[in-house]
Amino acid sequence: AQSVTQLDSHVSVSEGTPVLLRCNYSSSYSPSLFWYVQHPNKGLQLLLKYTSAATLVKGINGFEAEFKKSETSFHLTKPSAHMSDAAEYFCVVRLPYGGATNKLIFGTGTLLAVQP
Amino acid sequence: GAGVSQSPRYKVTKRGQDVALRCDPISGHVSLYWYRQALGQGPEFLTYFNYEAQQDKSGLPNDRFSAERPEGSISTLTIQRTEQRDSAMYRCASSLAWPGGGRDEQFFGPGTRLTVL
């Protein structure tokens, strides 16, 4: 079965300091992995995706994530946090296409707070 | 261009009533998905369509839940005889292509917050 585990439900950083949001995945197949962000009263927005190309994936707003098969991890990072980064972040794995579906499996989310 | 829209944004209903939630996908998007998000949890898959055909409804919790997309564009998720446990955020997403079709990234709408009293 495919699943993702987000290791922290809440993370608080100071503006200008690095961000690290941790995610571990479980998959019987070579996974497709995503990070989505959810700002209050807005829809989920795709930050970045990994689909078996480069293991270091760059996304929008300065975020990036590294796929590490040996550690089954896909942690999200940003060198310097901005106040506008405060939001909820979801790590997501996608079921393989063999089942003719595009079903996304979401983690439970990490709420990022950015202190001035 | 316009993104995915959902209506109503908020719905309060009494237990036992039927509700219909609407999703208007991005124009030209082939696939449409419904998810349910309980408080403090990530979204959970309910069902999805390619054009008007319902391809996977494995996530629908029981037969009180149904969805349709009769003309391959707007979709309606219907919950009959609502129960308090149905209270959640219902999210819709659409993608330009069907699974494996390259541009199959899902774009999400703002959601409908359903509260069953």
| Strand pairing report for B107-108 and B88-95 | antiparallel
- Residue-by-residue DSSP string for B72-103: SS-EEEEE-S--GGG-EEEEEEEESS-TTSS-
Of B44, B108, B110, the CB nearest to A41: B110
Report the gap between the CA of B98 and the closest CA in chain A (Å).
8
Q: Is A97 left (phi over 0), alpha (psi -120 to 50) or beta?
A: alpha
Residue contact A104–B43, C-beta within 8 A? yes
Considering just the CA atoms, what is the radius of gyration of chain A in Å? Answer: 14
Residue contact A44–B108, C-beta within 8 A? yes
Q: Residue B102: what pLDDT? A: 67
Size of interface A-B (CB pairs under 8 A): 63
State how far the Cα of B92 lies from the Cα of B54, in Å rounded to an integer: 14
Residue contact B98–A102, C-beta within 8 A? yes
Partners of residue B3 in chain A, C-beta under 8 Å: 43
The token pair at B68 is 């349709």
State how far the Cα of B36 lies from the Cα of A44, in Å rounded to an integer: 13
Q: Mean pLDDT in chain A?
A: 90
Q: Residue A111: what pLDDT? A: 96
First to last CA, chain B: 37
Cα-flanking dihedrals φ and ψ of residue A103, to 5°? -70, 130
Q: Residue B99: what pLDDT? A: 66
In tens, the pLDDT along A49-89 reads 988 778 899 999 999 999 998 999 999 999 999 999 999 99
For residue A103, is pLDDT > 90? no
Q: Residue B100: what pLDDT? A: 64
Interface test with B, best of A10, A37, A41, A103 (most B CBs within 10 A): A103
Q: Residue A97: what pLDDT? A: 56
In tens, the pLDDT along B82-112 reads 999 999 999 999 999 876 666 778 999 999 9
Q: How sure is the predictor about A96, in pLDDT bands with cuts at 50, 70 and 90? A: low
Chain B residue with CA closest to A111: the answer is: B40
Residue contact B59–A103, C-beta within 8 A? yes
Q: Could you tell me if B35 lies within 8 Å of chain A, comparing CB atoms?
A: yes
Q: Residue B101: what pLDDT? A: 61
Q: Which of A14, A45, A33, A28 is nearest to A75 (CA)?
A: A33
Q: Find residues 23-52 of chain A whose CB sits inside 8 Å of chain B.
A: 36, 41-46, 49
C-beta of residue B75 within 8 angstroms of C-beta of residue B6 = no
The token pair at A17 is 């300091």
Q: Residue B39: what pLDDT? A: 87
State how far the Cα of B6 lies from the Cα of B9, in Å rounded to an integer: 7
State how far the Cα of A87 lies from the Cα of A83, in Å rounded to an integer: 10
